[in-house]
Structure 1
Amino acid sequence: MASPITTNTGAGYGLDIKNIVSVLVNADTAAKANQIARQSSNNSAMISGIGSLRSALTAFQDAMKKLNDKNAPAFNAFAGTSANENVVKIKSSNSAVAGNYDIKVDQLATGSKVASQQFVGGASTAISAGELTVSQNGKDYKINVASGATLQSVRDQINKEMGAKGITANIINEAGGSRLVFSSTTTGKGSDISVGGIPELAIDGTQKISGSGAGYITGLAQDAQFSIDGLALTSSKNTVDQAVSGLTLELTGVSAKDTTTKVTVAQDNEGLKKSVQSFVDAYNTLQKAVTALVTPTKDANGNVTSLGPLTNDPTTRSLLADVRKVLTETGSGDKLTTLSQLGINTQKDGTLEFNSTKFNAALNDKKLGSEIQELFTGTNGVFERMNKAIDPYNATGGSLDTRKSNLDKVARNLENQKTALDRRTELLTTSLTKKFSALDTALAKMKKQGEQITSIFEAINAQAKKS
């Protein structure tokens, strides 16, 4: 910035130095300053616009990801309900069929829990060095126990090396001493744990604890036993996905004596409608956000007062075209291949209209419910094609990322230009102030000399009149 000038006029002749210097400096720098300010404003608006566009695209992709969650399918044609989720929970897939089932759970699948002999020395009991072998389901897992180990250090080593395999250990302190207890997340008959290799830690997982000796604690590992409509079944796990086509049963508890739990599977038209509406809403939110970025602002008379930050931006126009193209493309389904068959159509402003009457007809009359999932989430479905259209723009290293990097470079360059111009303004102001101060002094000196000469001539004339 220019150095401040403390006086408006020179101390000698009285020139308006500050005003003169200001006018000259402004004439030299104003055009460049205005250009930098204009370009900085436009560049900042573009950076903000690109950021808003990327946020809108990310929100849309997150919404599609949620609707495409395989653990919570959003487009299943059927929904299952359980009359008692304390006994069984149900999850349906798109291959389910409508029906009712009576389920009775006699026992749940359990895992192995075995304990070592008692150690009166507690967690600090010394354990012999050697190779500890933990066996389960015909597999042997080796753990090398080093010299100086204790019951606690062996427990920690087991958890570190075998935790990922679902086998963990802990120390239980009871009245007669401490035991090393093994647990497993693996369930089912025959999955009992046995331990060998180090004598004091040996456990026969098929034998029950007796006194201070080792063995299983409450019972052997067992399969789940249950029935569906009176048909007996077993499972090594409590989550059963092969018993009924299209259904996953989660056994959560044992049935009360002589009772069954009714499970119902029915068409889920309302659930499908809600999911489709969620997609339409997410898309419309994106469309409105982009429209706001590319639409000029007008006053009450319809005159443009300002442009949107991305108005006439070629990248944004290309993105919109690619996204809108997906809405009209034909998918890879059988009877259901386009969004328009479900009553989803593009309006003049680019948003989607969802016609519930046409949607209900597609489900009830044309029986297209089971194909909606494929249309949206299947191979070459709407979600896959949408992400393919958006990723080249919004992904890390995509065109919008590159645009942002280039705009940041422009911003830094403009800031450097402004700094250079401020420096030039300061130097020019200082230089011109010195020059005009010197001129003011010179003019004051000349004025004084002129006054002296005038005084001399006036004195000569006065003398001449006296004589």
Structure 2
Amino acid sequence: MAGTTVSGIGSGIDTQAIVKSLVDAQRAPKQAQINTQTLKATTTLSSIGKIQAALDAFRGALTSMTTGNSFGGLALKSSDEKVATITAGAGAANGTFRLEVGQLASASKVSTKVYAGGATSVVNPGTSTTTLSITQNGKAHDVSIPAGATLQDVRESINSQFGTAGFSANILTDASGSRLVITSTKMGVGSDITLGGNSGIDTGYTVVDPPKNAEYKLDGIAMTSKSNDITDAVSGLNIKLVGTSPKDSKDNVIETTLSLTTSATALKSGLKGFIDTYNALLKVVNEETRVTKNADGTVTAAALTGDASMRALMTSIREEMNALSGNGTMKSLAAFGVTTAQDGGALSLDDKKWDKAAATNAADLTSIFNGKNGLIARLQNVTEPFAKAATGTLAERSKTLSESLTKLKSEQDTLDTRMEALQKSLQDKYNNMDSLVTQLRQQQNNVLGTLNALNNAKSDK
């Protein structure tokens, strides 16, 4: 704290030390209070932030388990991946399907006339800008062709302007010259590309490939699709058509078998992933709420030791995990070998108990986790009040702690200002006192000088 140095020249007293002692004594109680509250708010805010991050990661993992169908417990197989591959989505179930692919879906492709001068051929020899219109599904995409533009310029304009709309342009060159080939990513009948405008590029264009629908059969039922990615033919099954079905020596179509079967291995992997996800959250909570015993026998509490919100959060999670659920014979995680450590509460999987349960009831684990009343959905629901970004319990506490730190900063500034004023006031008082003492000593010296002079005069007579 800045201030004038008081040395007590006149009085011989160390007034600087006195002022400092008085100011420190005045500051100490309030400063200690501010320091204690600031430290507590800062460490608590940091801990809340760690818990928030861990909880967000936990909830994100639960969402991934749902979208990734971690507890579908299905092994998927295509007997011929050159014809089709499959992935499972929400609602996938055991089943086997026979697939025949007669035709893949394809996109529209058109070609301009040949330009003998190659890719550098000038396609707009005029002095004004012209337009090439690429139309698909009734929507026109206009490409400006400036004066002097080449075939290569047009290609680059199409790709830069309409690449995100699904169009791509390339130049094919042979002995006769170059032509611009325009293709669409949209497939299926009705997605034809047509060219128009006043650029002249559209004149004489030809259709290289008309758009086609995929044609296939599932269990003998004829179907069509505008895409080779089929998501609505079988509930929960995504089929990607890769090629047409081969034929045998007698020209008979060889069917591809698509199978979905319950896999204990896949379910075990999903369960271990869940255990790891829960333990990661638990580890952070334990670190921020634990009590540490020191070497001298004393204990040190963490920032959130005994915190009611943390107890409520973990109690809510544990209650859902311990609840019976599902529609199978086995309705608990414990039945599948999930155990809880007495020290810390971390989960682990008893492999022997899992193997025994999975041998006969592996599918029961799917019903425990999945569905609107499954464990994943319930855990999402009970943690949401704590995790909401702006209005959740943790967010509200972070907001309150931040406001407290702001208030404490203001109190610190006020205290500093008050102490500076007190120091100045005391310095002024001690300076005045020192000046007064100097004056009194001067007067004393004057009086003593006068008395000595009188005594000397008497002695001379």
TM-score computed with the length of structure 2 as normaliser: 0.78
Describe the shift of the 1:419–1:330 C-alpha distance in structure 2 as closer, same or farther (beyond 3 A). Answer: same
The match for 1:64 among 50, 62, 82 is: 62
Which is worse superposed, 144-153 or 235-244? 144-153
* Equivalence for 2:229: 239
Q: Which secondary structure state, in structure 2, belongs to the residue aligned with residue 68 of structure 1?
A: helix
Which is worse superposed, 53-62 or 445-454? 445-454
* Equivalence for 1:285: 280
Instruction: Kindly indicate whether residue 240 of structure 2 is the aligned counterpart of residue 250 of structure 1.
Output: yes
The RMSD of aligned alpha carbons is 4.3
Alpha-carbon separation, structure 1, partners of 2:155 and 2:460:
133
- 1:318: how far off? 2.4
Aligned residue runs from structure 1 range 44-55, under 5 A: 44-55=42-53
- Asked if structure 1 preserves the Cα contact closer than 8 Å seen for 2:113 and 2:204, the reply is yes
Instruction: Kindly indicate whether residue 401 of structure 2 is the aligned counterpart of residue 410 of structure 1.
Output: no
* Equivalence for 1:432: 426
- Asked if structure 2 preserves the Cα contact closer than 8 Å seen for 1:106 and 1:255, the reply is yes
Amino acid of the structure 2 residue aligned with 1:431:
S
* Equivalence for 1:80: 76
- Asked if structure 1 preserves the Cα contact closer than 8 Å seen for 2:78 and 2:85, the reply is yes
Q: Which secondary structure state, in structure 1, belongs to the residue aligned with residue 181 of structure 2?
A: strand
Q: Runs of 5+ in structure 1 lacking a partner?
A: 204-211
Alpha-carbon separation, structure 2, partners of 1:61 and 1:24:
56
Aligned residue runs from structure 1 range 269-284, under 5 A: 269-284=264-279
- 1:360: how far off? 2.7
The match for 1:389 among 378, 382, 385 is: 382
- 1:67: how far off? 1.8
Which is worse superposed, 422-431 or 40-49? 422-431
Aligned residue runs from structure 1 range 40-439, under 5 A: 40-69=38-67, 72-82=68-78, 85-92=81-88, 95-97=92-94, 108-118=104-114, 122-124=122-124, 134=135, 140-142=138-140, 164=165, 166=166, 168=167, 170=169, 172=171, 174=173, 179-188=179-188, 190-191=189-190, 193=192, 195=194, 213-217=204-208, 219-222=209-212, 235-236=224-225, 237-240=227-230, 247-253=237-243, 258=248, 266-304=261-299, 306-331=300-325, 333-335=327-329, 337-348=331-342, 349-365=344-360, 367-369=361-363, 371-397=364-390, 398-439=392-433
1:395-448 CA distance string (max 9 Å, x none): 121222222122111111111111121122222212212221221232233234
Alpha-carbon separation, structure 2, partners of 1:311 and 1:247:
48
Alpha-carbon separation, structure 2, partners of 1:20 and 1:392:
56
Q: Which secondary structure state, in structure 1, belongs to the residue aligned with residue 295 of structure 2?
A: coil
- 1:29: how far off? 1.8
Amino acid of the structure 1 residue aligned with 2:389:
T
- 1:294: how far off? 1.6
- 1:27: how far off? 2.0
Describe the shift of the 1:434–1:173 C-alpha distance in structure 2 as closer, same or farther (beyond 3 A). Answer: same
Q: Which secondary structure state, in structure 1, belongs to the residue aligned with residue 85 of structure 2?
A: strand
Q: Which secondary structure state, in structure 2, belongs to the residue aligned with residue 297 of structure 1?
A: strand
1:157-209 CA distance string (max 9 Å, x none): 89967964x5x253636455664534233445x45625377698798xxxxxx
- 1:464: how far off? 7.3
Alpha-carbon separation, structure 1, partners of 2:442 and 2:197:
116
Which is worse superposed, 85-94 or 386-395? 85-94
Alpha-carbon separation, structure 2, partners of 1:222 and 1:74:
36
Alpha-carbon separation, structure 2, partners of 1:123 and 1:390:
63
Which is worse superposed, 117-126 or 50-59? 117-126
Which is worse superposed, 56-65 or 343-352? 343-352
* Equivalence for 2:25: 27
Alpha-carbon separation, structure 2, partners of 1:20 and 1:194:
93
Q: Runs of 5+ in structure 2 lacking a partner?
A: none
Alpha-carbon separation, structure 2, partners of 1:388 and 1:232:
42
Identity over aligned residues, as a percent?
27
Alpha-carbon separation, structure 2, partners of 1:117 and 1:91:
43
- 1:240: how far off? 4.5
Amino acid of the structure 2 residue aligned with 1:289:
V
* Equivalence for 1:208: none
Describe the shift of the 1:20–1:382 C-alpha distance in structure 2 as closer, same or farther (beyond 3 A). Answer: same
Between Structure 1 and Structure 2, how many residues are aligned? 443
